[in-house]
Structure 1
């Protein structure tokens, strides 16, 4: 639907975010834009014929933007076995067996062979490493010895496979059954042969769930030809989000051949899809103990693949990173470069300096002293996921000892003048910006004490970093808006995480709320 085809809408009795005690105002939306904001607009010029929705004093802010998602993986994960609660190999095997047994009963066909994909295990603190042998033993004991089981880590950087699953992926005889980084990530999209139309339906469902949480825009960094996938999805009716479609190196030439630069609208998408940045992964992750760090990881914990002198892993050579970024920059693409360890972040900043590229560091979880100032000087955005700090605080204390004061250092980055963009990295964390906002503001979850509270940021700062730089609507803005029942500035921690969203608008039309359910 074009902006001109969207009926004019008058929102009455709105309180703009950050002014909970202020007088309510009316907000006129016309042609997909905020046309007027003021008291008593009813009956004013331009409001004739406008639909009217009374907000009753609810809070209005600009639509939320998740700056880092993997949309297809998130859509699939919403249907997969959840392993996030496993605290050991035994826990994970028990959850796996229970799901296989339940699935077999539902099919009324006995146990027999099956295929199962799970997501979310975090073995950084487990007393023993995950291995195919331990998984096979548990499956055989429960009568599921032929099952092909694929269990993905919570950070997506490793996977734990049963022997039949290893065979399916051509990895029979693997020494541990725990595939990490380059031996795993190219296989991620081969686990389930989901037809495109079915996957698109899953993505549409996930997109509508995101809209129900106030999301209007996502940056999709899926390992996929995202331009093709999103063009197809919009054509078949997925229209509740704006999508910046990221490009991986394998698809860079195709994007260049189209003559598109970052921010350009992708033809055939009704303006909903734009070209996003080039995405490159430069190192591993914390939970997999492959984030590339200046200091070595502490001695062996028994986790598979750990080395007593290991500093982590670079997944792209610095010279190759510079070449890729220079090519992208030459053709008008921004760069979104994954860096988690402090040495990886240093090298990525070096590459931004060498190429003059614009863009972001994705994650920026551990920084060297002084590198926040380098972010600011280079104009590099820190695209961060605050909920990861809540998931990883204990793992960080274990594997980055005496360094966590500069981990997930949001306050340090902001004080240095760095622009923050908040996201989820879904499926690593749920696609729900309120979780990220609450984690950034409170640095606590589950009743625990705040972790490094000196790195907290304010509600205003967190909202601005979740709305593209400014949360308060202004005349002339695109009418991508969210209505919430509680002003976030006065919400307690629990309410902020579970913020009740009563309406979401994209270009002035409801994607959730009075006419969008």
Structure 2
């Protein structure tokens, strides 16, 4: 790779133009633009005011499911149950009889009536298998033809003979829907999403895989895909010994045994674990999927193995279980060993200041999604409907976590919210509860360096001399170029600089 000098660049929050020189995948020099003259025989590209950042890291994605929806059945704009049924009917007409109509994004809170019944879905699908995940991917509408492929779903937790499926019943039908994908479809969906990520200035994604959300074959294909976007794999399955942790990581190729290892579910599907009941479901406090002893054993085993562990936690009861398990793992091993492992918690939507301080003391990373607040926060949002306005104001307290010293790693949970890094930064800085917001510089750092820290690395919000030649170039929020270690992943102008 030739030596390249990019001049006329801007850095976030800094005055004056700058220049950056790269060679062989490394940054060899950075400095003021006027000092860039006379830098030898480098290929010069004057970019005249283009913004330079480190590439973004999306710390929580589901690649195959996201890729399937790039040209699939997007239900996020459906305003009624009838709209969902019409979309299914249109898709069923072009889906092979052995295939699955795969859709995502319905959200009944935005409608005036209930979700479609299974009988209505069967009629719209003309007998085809249909899997339609709710916006939070913690429940789904499934046709009878798909339920027939997942007989284990019937009668399990979350089963309904007529309506949406959640909990274990949902996991059964999701596995059946994924099993219907052939390897070529799966790999095509994965590549499509990673291409999309690169076009948004994202050069690294953290895939949160597991037996209940995707599967080993899916993760293996993704890790072997060879795409320029770096994929960090996590596998959500509990272990109880050091040797079991090491064996499972070796078998899956995952970086850690974390991500979507579910302590509880989601607020939208009323499966997040609460101490006090849901406002709109009196007497119901959600689901706990793992016992506290299992949580502590998993974290202790991962710590002893030197492997990053962690969980999906949303509700206040689940958060308390996870924090207690981390402290128990520190007692069984040592606080220093737990800190060294950089265990991570996904979502962490209902955490208080005391819990944040306890997490910071143990070096835990908070993998959080600011677009959740943009979508569901505020006095009239889904959080308020589920919890009441007073409890909802405490959701997603990014400033509390940051001020306690917890490292934030921002992500999308795509396809739950879109992979859109600048919208994510803005959402973190414009929280619906202003006291929970962070400034844009903090949010940018959390969406770049924070993500790399979450996967065991290091970095800065802007490229630095001596570091890898990894950067993104921006015209406003439009990505002009994404480069990782000298390799161009996306170039809007078709004129790669490397």
Moved more, 397-406 or 77-86: 77-86
Unaligned runs of 5+ in 2: 331-337, 451-459
Change (3 A) 1:209 1:254: farther
Shift of residue 439 of structure 1? 1.0
Offset at 1:191?
A: 0.8
In structure 2, what is the Cα distance between the partners aligned to 1:230 and 1:314?
A: 30
CA separation in 1, counterparts of 2:251 and 2:424?
A: 29
Number of residues paired by the alignment? 456
Please report the RMSD computed on the Cα atoms of aligned residues, expressed in angstroms: 2.8
Look up the match of 1:363. 347
How far has the Cα of 1:452 moved from its partner? 1.3
Q: Secondary structure at the match of 2:258?
A: strand
Please point out which of 121, 124, 135 is paired with 2:106: 121
CA distance in 1, matches of 2:496, 2:313: 38
* Residue matched to 1:218: 205
- How far 1:137 sits from its partner (Å)? 3.3
| Contact kept? 1:83, 1:92, Cα under 8 Å | no
Q: 2: distance between equivalents of 1:92 and 1:78? A: 22
Alignment of 1:265-414 (within 5 A): 275-279=255-259, 280-300=261-281, 308-356=282-330, 357=338, 358-393=342-377, 394-401=381-388, 402-414=390-402
CA distance in 1, matches of 2:496, 2:140: 38
1:97 aligns with 2:86: yes
Return the TM-score normalized by structure 1: 0.81
Separation (CA, whole Å) in 2 of partners of 1:353 and 1:153: 34
* Aligned-partner Cα distance in 1 for 2:126–2:199: 41
- Kindly indicate which of the two structures has a greater share of residues assigned to helix: 2
Shift of 1:97: 2.4
1:376-415 deviations in whole A, cap 9, x for unaligned? 2222111100001122221101111121221011122122
Deviations 1:485-509 (A, max 9, x none): 23xxxxxxxxxxxx11111111022
User: In the alignment, is residue 18 of structure 1 matched against residue 13 of structure 2?
Assistant: yes
Corresponding residue for residue 471 of structure 1: 461
**Equivalent residue for 2:443?**
462
Deviation at 1:7, TM superposition (A): 3.1
- Say if 2:165 is the partner of 1:179: yes
Is the counterpart of residue 73 in structure 1 residue 60 in structure 2? Answer: no
For residues 13 and 377 of structure 1, the distance between their equivalents in structure 2, rounded to whole angstroms, comes to: 42
Which deviations, in whole Å up to 9, do the C-alpha atoms of 1:89-125 show, x marking residues without a partner? xx23433324423652x68x9xx99842220112346
Deviation digits for residues 271-299 of structure 1, max 9, x if unmatched?
xxx72453321111010011111111125
Structure 1: gaps spanning 5 or more residues: 1-5, 267-273, 301-307, 444-450, 487-498
1:453 deviates by: 2.0
Contact 1:100 1:114 in 2 (8 A): no
1:239-254 pair list within 5 angstroms: 240-249=228-237
* Kept in 2: contact 1:321–1:351 (CA 8 A): yes
Tell me whether 1:159 sits opposite 2:140 in the alignment.
yes
C-alpha displacement at 1:481, in angstroms? 0.4
Residues 42/453 of structure 1: CA separation in 2 closer, same or farther (3 Å cut): same
Whole-Å separation in 2 of the counterparts to 1:397 and 1:345:
19
Secondary structure of 2:449's counterpart equals: coil
